[in-house]
Structure 1
């Protein structure tokens, strides 16, 4: 057996062992390769805009188109929702917000008018059936 074995870790001969971070950095440099030229590598910063969440209310508009389409407000709201989604895909956030706001307002009116019409029909049917049954 040879008792004069040399340490595997660089710098261990001097009695100073490098930390794990230094070893990881040396391994990454050896795997990835060092800089190709003698100049220090420059850094590039890319600012990525986070997507602004613009609700397009398309599901609500579709529901109103199918069930509460009083005065075609549900259909018009659906059209504005599609326009809002198109503007969002193009990257026009302000246009998307404008169309989404219009779609939301139309959806609110469609629901309110749809509920009033439905309630009016129910009240009318109840009044007519009770009036017919008392004769």
Structure 2
């Protein structure tokens, strides 16, 4: 058996602390916490990038406005793109992302409608240019 010497003093001498008193001091420190001067403070630094890339889709909107402006979707998308660019210049990244998302959605719909219209126009021209029995020139 391992027998470690335990010293328990029934009558502590002046100026000498007993094992029990040391344990009591350690317990008090653990409960109350370490003194304020000896507490180790840790800090966390988060580096945020200054230039967050928010695409505003101005060029795409301008193209849809000039060439394929079905039901003015290209023009409305251009307006939202300009609003997105303005919000980005002010520093409102959330607002810029919202306007850019709307502009992107409008540009996609304008592109889809214009592809359908272009294909439809080509089909109609092919039908009209061919010699179909039902059509007279």
Q: TM-score range by the shorter chain?
A: 0.5 to 0.7
Write the distance in 2 (CA, Å) between the matches of 1:48 and 1:118: 46
Question: Where does 1:14-53 land on structure 2 (aligned, <5 Å)?
Answer: 49-53=49-53
Count of residue pairs the alignment pairs up: 90
Please report the RMSD computed on the Cα atoms of aligned residues, expressed in angstroms. Answer: 2.1
Partners of 1:71 and 1:107 in 2: CA distance = 12
Other-structure match for 2:65: 65
Residue in 1 that maps onto 2:91: 91
* TM-score of the superposed pair, with normalisation by structure 1: 0.61
1:42-68 CA deviation, whole Å, 9 max, x = no partner? xxxxx6742110000000000000111
1:12 match: none
Q: Runs of 5+ in structure 1 lacking a partner?
A: 1-46
Q: Which has the larger radius of gyration?
A: 2
Gaps of 5+ in 2: 1-46
Give me the whole-angstrom Cα distance separating, in 2, the residues matched to 1:107 and 1:48. 31
Whether 1:121 and 2:112 are equivalent positions in the alignment is no
Q: Distance in 2 between matches of 1:112 and 1:131?
A: 31
Once residues 60 and 116 of structure 1 are traced to their aligned partners in structure 2, the CA distance between those partners, rounded to angstroms, is 18
State the partner residue of 2:107. 107
1:84-134 per-residue CA deviation (whole Å, 9 max, x = no partner) reads 000000000000000000000000000110111111011001101114698
1:80 aligns with 2:80: yes
